[in-house]
Structure 1
């Protein structure tokens, strides 16, 4: 709950910062929502994840931009069967606060390629600590709308990977 409150405070602060820096050309900030479709072993234990957060872009040179985001992700655990005992049990839910930074490259005006990395603070009944994030993706930015498809890997005690669809609005 504390992390959710922290996220609300961060989003509020980012909203105020956006208004204060509205005069900066080449800077955008805004909220996003995302769906995450687990793959591999991660898919065996977790259902589709959901997330919300805030993202920002700063134009660097020509077709390059720096990007960053902070968010909250939630994956509901599945009911799985223990192969040795035959007993069914529920995998605990996974919650995370991912913080990502990276670069975007625009080969053409509406299309961009991005590569982000960062850290995800994991929490939940059986989860703690931080995971390293690596996330390549491709996106479309039309007017203020930002649509993105990506693959994201969280690396800690193995890899938890998922395909993601992200939609946001940039001011």
Structure 2
């Protein structure tokens, strides 16, 4: 997994650096910061609170509304505290460990209209808190968004899969330069 993380990181860095000089004059490349929030879904909702994160996003326009996108960021979900009522164990409280990860995503984006787009991304979420899980999870994240001038807002569902799945509904807002 470390090799996959390094390879994806290098690919995103080279994509960003190599494309900046060539495409900046044509306004076909944009990069900028984003913030996001995620509302856990399913079993993940039972164990974790709303998550917050941020990072850097890059877009490259190709042809006829089609483009590629990539992002690197940080995401954190706080663990909930629950009361154990299992008759086989002594009653008490249990706090689920926090989830902290560095998601690296790459995907395709298609603009239906100048403002509206759909996007599908995949990648890896490298867990930084080993009390939750060790290693990295595979990411699948479809979404829909709107971009007006430099402001980009996207609604998405993001699924992290490793030894089970953790999913969340997300809202991502960023500025693209």
TM-score normalized with structure 2 length: 0.84
Matched, 1:156 2:169: no
The aligned counterpart of 1:9 is none
Secondary structure at 1:76's aligned position in 2? strand
How big is each residue's C-alpha offset from its partner over 1:146-169, in whole Å with a ceiling of 9 and x where there is no partner?
000000000011110000000000
Number of paired residues? 159
**CA distance in structure 2 between the aligned counterparts of 1:160 and 1:83, rounded to whole angstroms:** 24
2:150 is aligned, of 107, 126, 144, to 144
Q: 1:7 aligns to what?
A: none
Large movers: runs of 4+ above 3 Å: none
Q: Does 1:103 align with 2:108?
A: yes
Match of 1:8 in 2: none
Deviation at 1:62, TM superposition (A): 1.0
Q: Which residue of 2 aligns with 1:43?
A: 45
> Corresponding residue for 1:92?
97
User: Is 2:29 the partner of 1:27?
Assistant: yes
Between the aligned partners of 1:118 and 1:37, the Cα distance in structure 2 is 20
Distance 2:128 2:85 in 1: 26
1: CA distance between counterparts of 2:144 and 2:132?
Answer: 33
| CA shift for structure 1 position 24 | 4.5
Unaligned runs of 5+ in 2: 1-12
Instruction: Give the Cα separation in 2 of the matches to 1:95 and 1:48.
Output: 12
TM-score, reference length from structure 1: 0.86
**Where does the alignment leave 5 or more consecutive residues of structure 1 unmatched?**
1-12
